[in-house]
A = this chain, B = another copy of it.
């Protein structure tokens, strides 16, 4: 081990990351082995363990790091502000999605392994891509600077959340309490995809989201369909009719006022998207589909990144076990989410949905709604100096012009950083579309991990210039 040299070159730092990649990977595997599923209360201790481990890693690197309790899963905060220059707040989340259906996994979800897929080495585990692999690219970039130069090039604060997959209930209050501690010149968020395997991207548009759970109750108890079938209201039939009524035949959402605040894509972005490589057939074909199911007058790229939508994420009621039970269930439920764009107001969309359901309810049925969070869409000004420097650093690393992109998924943290801390966010991630996040057999390309670390080294360096 050589002593750190403050004047070591960027190439030296990158070379250190290259030679240490195996040990970087071992550390990621340790984190991936912790089943930190945030939506299931049974996994609370594992979320705590993941937070503790991350805080320990940051402390080891010389950060002033600690685990901060919340009413939900804890936050991890670390500061290293010894450098001068523009300050950054890095954000990632250590919680992961549930793993069901478990039988569809080829490897145990919390036993990380290296596999091969399409000629690429891949890291297989729940959270490999979303978001443990991504957040560790930044930690390892910091590690390389510390090892080679003994210091980071700019002041860095790190925030790791443990409820991103569960609605981020504790985040707003936490940001309110720690605003002065966390506010930096710009936020760096690593939870997004590259444009494709060769083309890095920074996402400037993010869809918002509204999550709703609806339960419809008809009879006061389950009924025998032989005795009541025909005369008794069937809540599964009713809920199906309501769900069917959410979409128009042209693929658009049929809720009154849903499109208020939605505008067409700016011409410049639309033009860039036509230039950039995107194969609709391949995008759908990769997951066994061939016919786009959204608005008929929009491209697939617009449907997934620039248009709002409504999705049924779960639905259940009646007898769902083996065999058959001729029951008319008393109740039926669904989890439904809306992706928002532009100036759509989450509260108004939620209320419009609830009105839509209530208007279709027979008088002897009741409905209850449960909110599962909401956030507006967000976008980042294209003339930001931080954006320009980061695009340059990515272009240097990947040898290809970085794309400015929109993302179909919601990252509510971006809106929170803007509203609560007054910060813009640079959304820079190294995941691939085919990483199967939220699904069985999640993976993260080994190249994403390695070159992700290198990319952050370059970006931190570029921001310090």
Q: Are A323 and B167 in contact (CB under 8 A)?
A: yes
A100 in contact with B230 given A221-B436, A326-B337, A436-B221 (CB within 8 Å): no
* Closest B residue by C-beta to A441: B221
A100 to B327, CA, bound (A): 11
> How distant is A19 from chain B, measured CB to nearest CB, in Å?
34
- A421 adjacent to chain B (CB < 8 Å): no
Nearest B-chain residue to A437, judged by Cβ: B224
CB-defined contacts of A436 to chain B, threshold 8 Å: 221
Contact with B along A232-247 (1 / 0, CB 8 A): 1110110111011111
Copies of this chain:
2
Residues of B within 8 A of A307 (CB): 230
Q: Establish whether residues A224 and B438, one from each chain, have CB atoms under 8 Å apart when the complex forms.
A: yes
A89 to chain B, nearest CB (A): 23
**Across the interface, do A313 and B339 meet the contact criterion of CB distance under 8 Å?**
no
Check if A222 sits within 8 Å of B326, measured CB to CB.
Answer: no
Q: A104 at the A/B interface (Cβ < 8 Å)?
A: yes
* CB pair A335 B314 closer than 8 Å: no
Q: CA separation between A309 and B233, bound complex, in Å?
A: 12
Total count of chain A residues near the partner, CB < 8 A = 101
The interface centre, meaning the residue of A283, A284, A439 with most chain B CB atoms within 10 A of its CB, is A439
Q: Does A41 contact B (CB under 8 A)?
A: yes
A223 partner, pick from B287, B323, B328, beta carbons under 8 A? B287
Q: Is the CB of B39 within 8 A of A324?
A: yes
Stretch touching chain B among A51-59, A111-119, A288-296, A379-387: A288-296
Residues in B with CB closer than 8 Å to A439 are 221-224, 327
Q: Mark A189-214, 1 if CB is under 8 A from B, else 0.
A: 00001000000000000010101010
Nearest Cβ distance between residue A298 and chain B, in whole angstroms?
Answer: 8
**Cα distance, A313 to B225, chains bound together (Å):** 8
CB closest chain-B residue, reference A305: B230
Query: How far is the CB of A117 from the nearest CB of chain B, in Å?
Result: 14
Please state if B240 and A209 are interface contacts (CB–CB under 8 Å). no
Would you call B222 and A339 a contact (CB within 8 A)? no
CB–CB A288/B329 < 8 A: no
Interface-facing stretch out of A135-143, A150-158, A351-359, A406-414 = A406-414
Knowing A241-B244, A287-B219, A319-B314 are in contact, say whether A39-B233 is a contact too (CB < 8 A): no
Minimum distance in angstroms from A423 CB to a CB of chain B = 22
A315 within 8 A of B: yes
Q: Is the CB of A289 within 8 A of B410?
A: no
- Minimum CB–CB distance from A159 to chain B (whole Å) comes to 21
Interface flags for A321-335 (1: CB within 8 Å of B; 0: not) read: 111111111001111
Chain B residues, Cβ within 8 Å of A320: 314-316, 333, 335
From known contacts A314-B320, A320-B316, A326-B211, infer whether A291 and B240 are also in contact, taking CB-CB under 8 Å: no
Are A230 and B339 also in contact (CB < 8 A) when A40-B321, A104-B221, A364-B291 are? yes
Residues of B contacting A219 with CB < 8 Å? 287-289
Question: A232: which B residues are within 8 A, CB to CB?
Answer: 284, 287, 289, 293
Given A226-B207, A226-B409, A337-B225, does the pair A313, B287 have CB atoms closer than 8 Å? no
Query: What separation, in Å, do the CA atoms of A232 and B287 have in the docked complex?
Result: 9
In the bound complex, do residue B288 and residue A364 qualify as a contact, i.e. CB atoms below 8 Å apart?
yes
Residue with the highest number of chain B CB atoms closer than 10 Å, among A97, A236, A312? A312
Which of chain B's residues has its CB closest to A245's CB?
B244
Complex Cα distance, B231 from A307, in Å, reads 10
Cross-chain contact B364 with A315 (CB below 8 angstroms):
no
Chain B: CB-nearest residue to A166: B323
Tell me if B433 and A227 are in contact (CB < 8 A): yes
Bound form: Cα–Cα A241–B40 in Å: 31
Quick one: given A226-B407, A436-B221, A440-B222, are A236 and B315 in contact (CB under 8 Å)? Answer: yes
In addition to A223-B287, A226-B408, 14 A-B residue pairs with Cβ atoms within 8 Å of each other are A38-B323, A40-B323, A104-B221, A225-B313, A227-B409, A231-B300, A240-B241, A240-B312, A290-B363, A312-B318, A313-B325, A314-B329, A316-B320, A325-B335
| 24 residue pairs A–B, Cβ–Cβ below 8 Å | A40-B322, A100-B319, A207-B226, A225-B309, A225-B337, A225-B409, A226-B407, A229-B304, A229-B337, A229-B339, A230-B295, A230-B307, A230-B339, A231-B284, A231-B300, A240-B315, A311-B328, A313-B318, A313-B325, A315-B317, A324-B335, A325-B335, A326-B337, A326-B438
The 6 closest A-B pairs by CB, nearest first: A226-B409, A39-B323, A220-B288, A314-B318, A240-B243, A230-B303
